[in-house]
């Protein structure tokens, strides 16, 4: 572990693996519908940052494991904080799709 490792954001590859291993987990892409349509992680649902008030329709239980990503990790970080303030207890920002090394869906 290097001195500046704390500057790096979450590892999206590891986060996706954790999501896939977590029973009942939801993978949420918080980018715009247009960005989502261009490419997204396999199994992800699109719930844009601006539409997070609709989370109850997707995850009615506040203890649902939620794994969030966006382009760079910034919007998913904002969404993580917002969802935690809304009472969701198992929210993880897995970072940005631009750092993802696997296959995407279109």
Domain count, the chain: 1
Whether 91 maps to a domain, the answer reads yes
For residue 67, give its domain range. 24-97
Whether 14 maps to a domain, the answer reads no
CATH code, 38: 3.40.250.10
Average pLDDT, whole number, for the chain? 94
pLDDT level of residue 1 (50, 70, 90 thresholds) = very low
Whether 49 maps to a domain, the answer reads yes
Helix (H/G/I), strand (E/B), else coil: 53: helix
End-to-end Cα spacing for the chain: 35
Judge whether residue 5 has pLDDT over 70. Answer: no
């Amino acid at each position: 572990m290097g001195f500046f490792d704390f500057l790096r954001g979450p590892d999206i590859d590891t986060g996706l693996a954790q999501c896939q291993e977590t029973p009942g987990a939801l993978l949420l892409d918080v980018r715009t519908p247009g960005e989502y349509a261009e490419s997204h992680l396999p199994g992800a649902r699109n719930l844009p940052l601006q539409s997070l008030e609709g989370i109850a329709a997707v995850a009615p239980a506040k203890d649902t494991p939620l794994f969030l990503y966006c382009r760079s990790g910034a919007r998913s970080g904002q969404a993580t904080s917002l969802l935690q303030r809304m009472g969701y207890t198992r929210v993880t920002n897995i970072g940005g799709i631009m750092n993802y090394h696997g296959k995407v869906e279109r």
